[in-house]
Amino acid sequence: MSAPSEQTPQTTLAIASRRRSFAHLAPLLRARWNWLIVLILAGIANAGAGLVGPWAIGRLVDELPARAGSDVVITCATAVAVAGVVMALGTWIGAWALARIAMPVVADLRTQVVDSALTLESQRIESTGTGDLVSRVADDSRKISEAAAQVLPLVVESLLIVIVSAVGLAAIDWRLGIVGLVALPMYWLTLRWYLPRSEPLYKEERAAFGRRAGRLLGGLTGARTLRAYRAESGELTRIDSASGQARDLSIGVFSFLTRAFSRNNRAEAVVLSLLLIAGFALVYFGETTAGAVTTAALVFHRLFNPIGALVGLFDQVQSAGASLTRMVGVIDEAASSPRRTTEISIDRPALVLEDLWFSYDEDPESSNHVLKGVSLRLNPGEIVAVVGTTGAGKSTLARIAAGLSAPTRGRAELARDTATSAGEVGRSVSLTELPDDKLRGHITMVAQEVHTFTGTLRENVALPVPEATDEQIITALDTIGAGWARALPHGLDTEVGDGGTRLSAVEDQSIALARLVLADPDFAILDEATAEAGSAGAHVLERSAQAALAGRGALVVAHRLSQAETADRVLVMDHGRVVEEGPHEELVAAGGRYAQLWSAWSA
């Protein structure tokens, strides 16, 4: 496992600007323009039907005092009933159209984020902490999904009601419409006060949620270690602190929203009072009717709920917008990462690591190096074991050898000995320049912690070669001695992983080694790949690993010196440097650091 000195500083993944985020959504929405038209037409019909009620009441106010007959009442009642049917249909059609727009867009966006996250350099993921990425893929995705399903329909409906009602108010009496315009600067001042302050608040809130998720995830995944060192209380204190920050920010956001509501209510009270005063004056001077003023007042009053909803929902819209900027940030960061396009055509290449220096600090001149001038040439078919105490830099060396991390200085290349011949692209190529699919064809890494995905045993083993036949999969399992696979209730069709047949640590690691055999790379990097199995299981996995490495070069980070004993060469590392190198027998005879380790191990 990585030593504390090899841990990376916590930063965050990129966050896109709001303009860039909505620009990313634009093509996804344009692809569904027909549903957008249906949504707008349904919304306009719905909002227009909502004006029928105020119109009917205003007409009754004018005509009933003049002893109008029952016809006017029947007419108004019929109009209101028809408007109700139109509103019901408009609401249903609008919700249907919005679902056909929003749900596929959210699904596309979520897929893009996951695809982008999988293409990011693992070193970058480690430098930000898994909590930040998990929060973006899970929490932010859920926030946008909820906004699309619950908030967006109300926002669209409220916005169209405001527009149509404003037009209706002006059509009743242009002078009353002018009075209603007084609300615009008051609402504008509210928004001008609200918007600049809200976006930083919501971004900070989402970031706090990400930190809280990271703490919770770290506490859950590291529960065994915490219990072993009786460090639960300290970790709970840190989790509580992260949760408290998120809670305090949420309370602050709610308080801020309450102040925005008070400004909104003040604008509504002022404008409605002005509307009634102006209406009374117009009726007094015979410029309009009481029914028209009643209709205008009801129409303006009808705006209270949608305008209040727009402001009330704006916090959720802003929060969803902040989530969108975080998700698009992942997509943009993956898109801006250097594309690996170099091709290679080298039969049985050598893996060359020359003068490797590595630091997790962003400053390239940092003196805090995990690796310090490490060099190694791994020839085809050669097995080199790396040993050393915790924190010596073994895992970092393995990651660079696998092409998962780039050295701060030095070279990590696939190279060949002979001169370039026709048809070959070059003499050597850097691991960081190879496309992932090409790189994995040459180098595959099996780490200490492996993952068995939910699915069948066939799908799990065939992960590196999805088109593999059952015969090839069975051969891979047999090669590493996974006889347990034949005893499973449904063979290769047995469901494993979460919710499936429970596998032991040895069986999980056997699947990882079978994947290695099936991938058939030139080199394998084993980073303490048998450490999770325990003493008894380790012997089984060591035999499986030896079978999996047959015929290919390998760099084995050994947690048991029995692995080093069978290697062609052994590298002894200490504080980022190679302090001894050579075959097992020579190093034992030399009486140096390795001999001391071997003596302690043998004892």
- DSSP track, 52-87: HHHHHHHHHHHHTTTT--HHHHHHHHHHHHHHHHHH
Give the pLDDT confidence of 358-382 residue by residue, as tens digits.
Answer: 887 765 555 678 899 999 999 999 9
Q: CA–CA separation, 501 vs 493, rounded Å?
A: 11
Mean pLDDT of 379-393: 89
Q: CA–CA separation, 431 vs 415, rounded Å?
A: 10
Q: Which neighbouring-strand residues pair with 557?
A: 386, 527
Q: Could you count the other beta carbons within 10 Å of the beta carbon of residue 53?
A: 19
Q: Which neighbouring-strand residues pair with 455?
A: 496
- Per-residue pLDDT, 536: 59
Q: Residue 569: pLDDT above 90?
A: yes
Answer whether 325's CB lies under 8 Å from 304's CB.
no
Mean pLDDT of 86-103: 85
**DSSP-derived 3-state class of residue 303:** coil
User: pTM for the complete prediction?
Assistant: 0.60
- Per-residue pLDDT, 312: 62
CA-based nearest residue to 458, from 444, 445, 448, 472: 472
Q: Give the pair of three-digit tokens for residue 397.
A: 């060396």
Residue 284 DSSP class: H
Give the pLDDT confidence of 482-499 residue by residue, as tens digits.
Answer: 888 888 888 899 988 777
Q: Give the residue with greater pLDDT, 385 vs 253.
A: 385
- Per-residue pLDDT, 478: 92
Q: Which amino acid is at 148?
A: A
Q: What is the DSSP string of 396-416?
A: HHHHHHTTSS--SEEEEEEE-
- The mean-pLDDT minimum among 344-348, 438-442, 493-497, 571-575 falls in 344-348
Give the pLDDT confidence of 585-595 residue by residue, as tens digits.
Answer: 999 999 888 89
- The mean-pLDDT minimum among 81-85, 110-114, 303-307, 491-495 falls in 303-307
CA 195 to chain centre: 26
CA-based nearest residue to 502, from 478, 516, 527, 484: 484
Distances (CA, A) of 205 to 17, 243, 257: 17, 11, 14
How many helices (DSSP H) and strands (DSSP E) are in the chain? Answer: 23, 12
Residue 182 dihedral angles phi and psi, to the nearest 5°: -60, -25
Mean pLDDT of 546-568: 88
Q: Give the pair of three-digit tokens for residue 383.
A: 């097995």
Q: Give the residue with greater pLDDT, 559 vs 545.
A: 545
Q: Residue 332: pLDDT above 60?
A: yes
User: Angle 30-33-38 (CA atoms, 0-180°, nearest 5)?
Assistant: 155
CA-based nearest residue to 443, from 408, 482, 400: 400
Q: What is the DSSP string of 455-480?
A: EEHHHHHTSS-TT--HHHHHHHHHHT
Q: Which amino acid is at 461?
A: V
Q: Given the DSSP bridges, would you call strands 443-446 and 523-527 parallel, antiparallel or unpaired?
A: parallel
**DSSP-derived 3-state class of residue 572:** strand
Give the pLDDT confidence of 17-76 residue by residue, as tens digits.
Answer: 878 888 888 888 888 888 888 888 888 888 888 888 888 888 788 777 766 667 888 888
Q: Which neighbouring-strand residues pair with 374?
A: 356
Q: Give the residue with greater pLDDT, 577 vs 262.
A: 577
